[in-house]
Each structure stands twice: as C-alpha cells, then as structure tokens.
Amino acid sequence: MKYLKDYRKEAVLAPLFKLLEAFFELLVPLVMAGIIDKGIADGDTGYIVKMGLCLLALAVVGLVSSVTAQFFAARAAVGFSTKLRQALFDHIQGLNFTNIDKAGTSTMITRMTSDINQVQSGVNMVLRLFLRSPIIVFGAMIMAFTIDVKSALIFVVAIPLLAVVVFGIMVWTMPLYKKVQAGLDKVLGLTRENLTGVRVIRAFHKEEEEETRFRKYTEALAHSQTYVGKISAIMNPVTYVIVNGAIVVLIYTGALQVDAGRLSKGEVIAIINYMSQILVELVKLANLIVTITKALACADRVAGVFEIKNDSIEVKAGQKREAVSGQGTVPFLEFDHVSLTYAGAGAATLHDMNFRVNKGETIGIIGGTGSGKTSLVNLIPGFYPATEGVIRLEGQDISTMSQEELRERIGVVPQKAVLFKGTIRSNLQWGKPDAEENEMWEAIDLAQAREVVEGKPGKLDAQVSQNGKNFSGGQRQRLTIARALVRKPEILILDDSASALDYATDARLRTALKSVKNATTFIVSQRASSIRHSDQIIVLDDGEIAGIGTHDELLESCGVYREIYYSQYPEERLKAAKAAGEGPEEARKEGGTVKGGEGNGAGR
C-alpha cells in the first residue's frame, strides 16, 4: 500500500466519483416509477417529457462521473505499478548472487512484468468498482424497502446467497491462480533457456526434443488456466440463476400486490429494476473478484521477492577499519580458513582456503574443471558470502564493508564477456562514469584493444549491439578488460578472460598488466603460460588448495600442477625426464593423463 501514498488524492477521488455515479443510478428506477404511475397512467405528456429530460440529465452526470473516476483510477494504478516495479527492480539489484540463484531469473522476470501488471489491473478495478458495486447492491435493497417491505425481503434472501457463491469461488480459485503463475514461470524459464542456447540446440539437432518439452509445459499451463477459468466461469451463470429466480418471485408477488391494490405498477417495475441493477452489479462484482483474486495471488508472489533479504552485514562506507590484533604486518588481502557452500548444495565447493596476498602482486589461479577457481575469485568482491572463515582486505573483514566501498576498489572481468547495448564509450563508462577520453584510450591500450576500437566506424562512439554480438569473442574480452582497467582498481580479477585471445596477444596483455602500478591482479586461467610468471600460483584440486608457490616451486612440489603443465608442454616433460635419467616412454606415461587438466593439449 505504501506505493499508493503519492496517489492518495486519485485513490480517494476515483471511488468518490464512482459513488456519485451510483447515487444517480439509484434514482433512475424512482423516476421510471413516476413516469409510469403519473405520466402514462394520467396521460400527462408534459410530465413524461420533464421526467425524460431528468433521466437524460442523470445519464450525462453519471457518464461524466464515471469517466472522471476512470481517469483517477487509471492514473493511480499506473503510477502505483511504476513505483512498485522500480522498487522491485532496485531490490533485485541489491540481492547477492546466492539469493538471485535461489529465486531464479525466469521467476524474477515474471514477477517484474506479468505479476505487477495483474496487480495494476487489480488496483484499477478496486478503485473503480470495489465501493460502487456493494453500494449499488445494498442501496438497491434499501430503496426497495422504502417502496415495499414484503417484496424487499426477497432481496434479503438473494443477496446472502450471491455473497456465498462469489466469495466461495474466490477462496477456491486464489491458490489455483498462484499455481497458474508458477506454471508461467516455468514456460518463461524454458523460453529463455531455448533462446539463449539456440545455437547449441541446432548444433546437436535437438529442435524436436525442445519443441516436445516446450509443448509439455505450455499444455500444463493451458490445463491449469482452463481449469481455474472453468471454476471462475461458474460464477456468472450461478449469479444469473439466483437473481433471475428472485425476479420471477418478485413479479409473482408484485402482481399479487398490484391486484390487491397495495402497490402500483410503477413501484413493481421500480423494484424489478432494482433487482436488475443488483444482477448487473453482481456480475461486475464477480468479475472484480476474479481480477482481485489474480491480483492478490500475484501480489503475494511480488511480496515474496521483497521478503528475500541478504544475510551479509552492511555498514556505512568510511567506517573505521579494524586492524588484525596480534599481527605486526597486515597483509593486503587474506583468506583465513575460508570455505564456501552454495545454497542448496550437498557439499562444500571450497574447503579451507588459507593464503595471503601482498599489495601489487600477481596471483595465478589454475586447476581442473570444477576445482573452484571462479568460486574462489567470486568471494573477493563479496558476490557470495563465505560460509566459514574470514576474508580480510587490509585487515578489515569484507563482510563488514559496504558493497559500494568494497567494489569501488575492485575491477572484475567475468568468465563470460558481457557488453551492453550502446557505444564502446558508454560500456567503458560502466567502469568509471566520469572517465575522460585519454583515460579510456589508456585502458584500451593496456587491454590490447586499440585495433578493435580504431577498426570500428566512430571509434569510441561505435555502436555495440545487445551482448556485443557485433564483436568477436576475443574483441569482447579485450573490451571488458578495458572496462575494468579504466577505473584503475586496487584489485583486478581476470576470470579466464583471455581464453579467446591468441598466445601473442595474451603475452602482450600480461606484460601490459605488469606495468599497472599498485594493482593486485588475480588471473584465473586454464593456460599454464598465462600464469607461470605470477608472483604466486594457487593450484586448486576439487575445491582444495593443492599447492601455492612460484612456477618453479610448484614444478618441484605439486603433482597436480606438474600434470597440468606437462600436458600442455609435453616437450618440457621430456626435457625434465631426460635430466632425471628417465626414458621417453616412461615420461609420456607420467605426463600423458591429467586429472581435470584443460587448455591446449590438456588430457591428450
């Protein structure tokens, strides 16, 4: 309700104008009774014309009131949904990766679009009809009592029966509408998956299987919608039966009353008109209840997203840093027995990560597929909170730092190169909004992307399509590296971000990165050549540290690193075997099979 607070005036005026319309509508049967009893019965043409003009005036005023109410209701509903959608988007942007993974992208999109649209329709209909329909129903009943108490008692029986039908169906259908929206989530998720992976689907000729799977989900959704639609559709005929049954009884009792001289013909017609008004309004109310039921089910789903909260501790930026007690020298970055278990995972992904990094060092991270390389670097910017242990940046636990303070110091180049629709300039400004042109070109040169930018018409103002589809994989990677470098981060994380680059460009990139002053660089790579000159190399194996050291130290002490390195450089293995006095066959046997090895020649 707080998102309606800026539309209080509209939220009050819309129902008031609808009540005004209802009031004029309730006067119509009385005017009609007068025309029949006085104008037609006495043959008074002047009275008939006068009352006819009165009816016309009531219609015009009612129409103006209705249109005004519609305007205010629409304005309030659209404004409300705009603020709600913006608030939901802001909330989702603030969620950490754990919560986003848990909720799922497809359901977030459904709740942001379809669910909020349903809530908007609900608010609109409530402001227009929620007060009007009950006022007409009970007003018609009261007006009927003013005409004849005995006839009006039929209303007392009919209205509770109608209320039971309407609210009973509402209670029945509300959980079913939630199920329909959940089915829509699944269809949207499958659609997104198919569109994202369309190349893979076609490459493996899986179109028919995916069509069958999609048809299964859409048929299930259609079945759910048809089932709940049938239940909702019961409402109209049942209300018609009850109301028309009441009208039949009214005509019968009214005829007896007229015959006995206790009621005039006009009064009977007025009572029947009031019953007809009740019929129309209850049909509207029935449809309103269906809309409200959908809206409440969707509102509950939207509220469910707002209820997702991050577990991490947030403090104000600039809070005094806590020094690590008992230590003379505080390392720049420290992993203190850190473990990570993803939400819903059966086992830990990372176990007991324990190492220190000094400012300005280059750290290489290597290991087989699934060894936890990306998971390790994702802990540094706080994308995922550590489930055990502490990560300290200059002595302060990163979980007590605000996201803004922490991430201003970090530049991340993710495993999947992502560019946004716009220009090269606008993409680089993601790294630093106020970056000047010379800063951009400096970052472009460091990322070995000058030829990419200069080769495009407009250079920095060259257009970038969605996801950078008009650039090759290597070009996208170099531009994402430039985007991270333009902010001159204290910590630069390159998560396998040079995999699409050739060896020469990769070597030039690493040399250029060495010239960046005071930047602590983490390089995740499958290529031993990319990390062999690092100050420290962390070797991961099945979520555990298999070894830490320089390239030469690890060749001596770490079997996992030796396997990966020699699988990519078999000639080095032969040289080492020759120096150790081993035969070539024995060397090939030892170096030929790599546990989880990847990269050029890995596992061959």
The percentage of residues in the chain with a pLDDT greater than 90, rounded to a whole number, is 6
Q: Which two tokens stand for residue 497?
A: 């971000």
Q: Mean pLDDT, the chain, as a whole number?
A: 81
Provide mean pLDDT across the span 518-541: 85
Residue 526 and residue 570 in one domain: yes
Residue 593's pLDDT is 41
C-alpha 359/C-alpha 118 separation (Å) is: 53
* pLDDT band with cut points at 50, 70 and 90 for residue 215: very high
CATH (domain of 340): 3.40.50.300
**Residue 158 resides in a domain:** yes
Residue 14 has pLDDT above 70, yes or no: yes
**Residue 479 resides in a domain:** no
Which is higher by pLDDT, 298 or 106?
298
**Residue 381 resides in a domain:** yes
Which is higher by pLDDT, 122 or 133?
122
| Residues 289/126, Cβ–Cβ less than 8 Å | no
C-alpha 76/C-alpha 258 separation (Å) is: 49
Which is higher by pLDDT, 326 or 330?
330
Residues 6+ apart with CB under 8 A from 335: 353, 354, 355, 356, 379, 389, 391
Sheet containing strand 388-393, strands side by side: 350-357, 333-340, 388-393, 396-397
Residue 600's pLDDT is 39
Helix, strand and coil in the chain, % to nearest 5: 65, 10, 25
- AA letter at 554: L
Residue 314's pLDDT is 43
The secondary structure of residue 115, as a DSSP letter, is I
Concatenated DSSP letters of 195-258? HHTHHHHHHTT-HHHHHHHHHHHHHHHHHHHHHHHHHHHHHHHHHHHHHHHHHHHHHHHHHHHH
Closest by CA position to 424, among listed 398, 450, 400, 403: 450
Residue 509 and residue 379 in one domain: yes
Residue 361 and residue 256 in one domain: no
Residue 379 has pLDDT above 50, yes or no: yes
Sheet containing strand 491-495, strands side by side: 410-413, 491-495, 520-524, 362-367, 536-541, 544-549
Residue 507's pLDDT is 80
**Residue 324 resides in a domain:** no
Tell me which of 287, 306, 325 is where a domain ends.
Answer: 306
* pLDDT band with cut points at 50, 70 and 90 for residue 582: low
* pLDDT band with cut points at 50, 70 and 90 for residue 577: low
C-alpha 587/C-alpha 574 separation (Å) is: 6
Residue 386 and residue 499 in one domain: yes
pLDDT digits 0-9 by tens, 66-125: 899 999 999 999 999 999 999 999 888 888 777 787 777 777 888 888 889 989 988 888
Residue 325's pLDDT is 40
The percentage of residues in the chain with a pLDDT greater than 70, rounded to a whole number, is 91
Residue 48 and residue 134 in one domain: yes
Provide mean pLDDT across the span 39-66: 85
Tell me which of 239, 271, 306 is where a domain ends.
Answer: 306
Least confident of 16-20, 86-90, 286-290, 469-473: 286-290
Q: What is the CA radius of gyration of the chain?
A: 36
C-alpha 355/C-alpha 545 separation (Å) is: 10
Find how far residue 335's CA is from the centre of its chain: 33
Residue 15 and residue 94 in one domain: yes
| Residues 523/363, Cβ–Cβ less than 8 Å | yes
Residues 6+ apart with CB under 8 A from 464: 419, 420, 421, 422, 423, 424, 426, 427, 470, 471
Tell me the CB-side half-sphere exposure of residue 516, using CA atoms within 13 A: 28
If you search the block for the tokens 């299930």, which residue do you land on? 220
Residue 302 and residue 337 in one domain: no
pLDDT digits 0-9 by tens, 230-283: 887 887 788 778 878 888 888 888 888 788 877 777 888 888 888 777 777 777
C-alpha 297/C-alpha 279 separation (Å) is: 27
Residue 274 and residue 353 in one domain: no
Residue 584's pLDDT is 52
HEC string for 67-85: HHHHHHHHHHHHHHHHHHH
C-alpha 295/C-alpha 9 separation (Å) is: 22
Residue 602's pLDDT is 37
* pLDDT band with cut points at 50, 70 and 90 for residue 579: low
Which range of residues forms the domain containing residue 84? 2-306
Q: Which two tokens stand for residue 374?
A: 């990306």
Residue 355 and residue 280 in one domain: no
Closest by CA position to 286, among listed 130, 125, 166: 166
Closest by CA position to 120, among listed 285, 7, 12: 7
Residue 62's pLDDT is 87
Residue 30's pLDDT is 80
| Helices then strands, each counted (H, E), the chain | 23, 12
* pLDDT band with cut points at 50, 70 and 90 for residue 64: very high
CATH (domain of 254): 1.20.1560.10
Phi then psi for 537, rounded to 5 degrees? -120, 130
pLDDT digits 0-9 by tens, 142-201: 887 887 777 778 877 887 887 788 778 877 887 888 788 788 878 888 888 888 788 888
Residue 298 and residue 362 in one domain: no
C-alpha 479/C-alpha 449 separation (Å) is: 6
Q: Which two tokens stand for residue 262?
A: 């206790």
Provide mean pLDDT across the span 536-545: 88
**Residue 438 resides in a domain:** no
Phi then psi for 408, rounded to 5 degrees? -65, -25
Q: Which two tokens stand for residue 282?
A: 């209850």
Name the domain count of the chain. Answer: 2
Residue 205 and residue 254 in one domain: yes
Residue 95 and residue 139 in one domain: yes
Residue 322 has pLDDT above 60, yes or no: no
pLDDT digits 0-9 by tens, 385-414: 888 888 888 888 888 888 788 888 888 888
Residues 6+ apart with CB under 8 A from 408: 487
pLDDT digits 0-9 by tens, 590-604: 444 434 444 433 332
| Residues 169/231, Cβ–Cβ less than 8 Å | yes
Residue 372 has pLDDT above 60, yes or no: yes
C-alpha 74/C-alpha 96 separation (Å) is: 35
Tell me which of 288, 306, 324 is where a domain ends.
Answer: 306
